[in-house]
Amino acid sequence: MDSRRDFLQKLGLSAIALPLIPLSGLASSVENFGERYDGPVLRVAIMGLGGYANRVAEAMQSCVRAKLVGVISGTPGKITTWQSKFNIPEKNCYNYENFDKIKDNADIDVVYVITPNALHHDQVIRVANAGKHVICEKPMALNAKEGKEMVDACKKNNVKLLVGYRMHFEPKTLEIIKMRKNGDFGKVMFFQGLCGFKIGDPSQWRLNKKLAGGGSLMDIGIYAVNGARYMVGEEPTWITAQETKTNPVVFKEGVDETIQFQMGFPSGAVASCLSTYNMNYLDKFFLTGEKGFAELQPSTGYGPIKGRTNKGELTHPHLTHQTVQMDEMAQIILEGKQPVVPVDGEEAVKDMKIMDAIYLAASTGKKINLKG
């Protein structure tokens, strides 16, 4: 198992045979199945043509509001393959040296950056300076400072910056958030987030501090960081964390193997989370309150997500996450739609601040208080 994406892909294999449902809005996706859409379409160029980029591109073939029209890659062979596979014109193909020229290309609205973490900062800023909207895969940057610089650059250029939080559009996840807001669980007391798998190839970029910015926390633990916030519905006020490393040969200095972290929230709710590259079968969210509970397992894989609450099983149909994400993001960019859970750069910076604090807490053994 070479990466988180391989792991998540295996979790979602059972969903491959399910039909992709064209969306004209998440809330009414099932009711509007087959409905013709004649509105504006977001024209997308993907930067970085690796495994996850391929998954996004495949999913976008079922989008009604977003269309893949361009590519940016440092590998000419990949560009040629994508041109043939996805019918991409030569004029919409760029490399990492010349992609600033997209500012003169009126046929591209947004660039989706799907490259190693350390490259996001500079690439997003270059895209923003070219006057194009940006979608950036998570984690958005190596730290909160970089993230804020990216947000500021997009604001300066009057373009939107969104981050690939696909779970923010997932139906079972949104149902739990709705129930929590409606008070179905009563006062929230506790959240647990478990995210992990055994990583494969020790030479991959995810185990390179300079490219990844860390280890399991940056790659998959971010799901628990972000999930704690939207499941509890509050921002944490303190962080504690502990790191465990059993294989320093594979997990070198600055690349975390396993991190446990705890968070406290203003209401008194607490969270206990684990992020690891050394244990399989960890993909679970659990929320409990004074009146009920909610559980997702798997909670962040490519699907189908499985969930239940004290009121019974969640039975929402599976929708391919990346298809939903791109159609929803098209509405955010083109129509100003406000999602239930934000996916903008400011949302991502909040996660980066927490992750900065987790690393600090793990390295110092101290409880880190977060500023409001």
Taking the C-alpha atoms of residue 270 and residue 232, their distance in angstroms, rounded to an integer, is: 9
**Count of beta carbons in the 10 Å neighbourhood of residue 292:** 16
Nearest Cα residue to 250 out of 204, 210, 281, 219 = 204
Classify residue 6 as exposed, middle or buried by CB count within 10 Å of its CB (0-12, 13-18, 19+).
middle
Query: Is 277 considered catalytic here?
Result: no
- Catalytic residue, candidates 52, 112, 132, 138: 138
Phi, psi for 193 (deg, rounded to 5): -130, 120
The letter for the amino acid at 189 is M
**Count of beta carbons in the 10 Å neighbourhood of residue 127:** 32
Structure tokens at 242: 């502990």
- Catalytic residue, candidates 52, 94, 165, 223: 223
Contact at 8 Å (CB) between 310 and 288?
no
Give the SS3 label for residue 32. Answer: coil
Structure tokens at 232: 């509890």
CA dihedral sign, ordered 152, 153, 159, 163: negative
Query: Is 198 considered catalytic here?
Result: no
Phi, psi for 261 (deg, rounded to 5): -145, 150
Structure tokens at 353: 């601040």
Residues 6+ apart with CB under 8 A from 332: 160, 162, 338, 339, 343
Nearest Cα residue to 305 out of 325, 285, 289 = 285
State the first-to-last Cα distance of the chain, in angstroms, to the nearest integer. 39
Residue with tokens 């059993």: 246
Taking the C-alpha atoms of residue 186 and residue 180, their distance in angstroms, rounded to an integer, is: 8
Structure tokens at 50: 């690796």
Q: How many CA atoms lie within 13 A of 290 on its CB side?
A: 6
Just list the catalytic residues: 138, 223
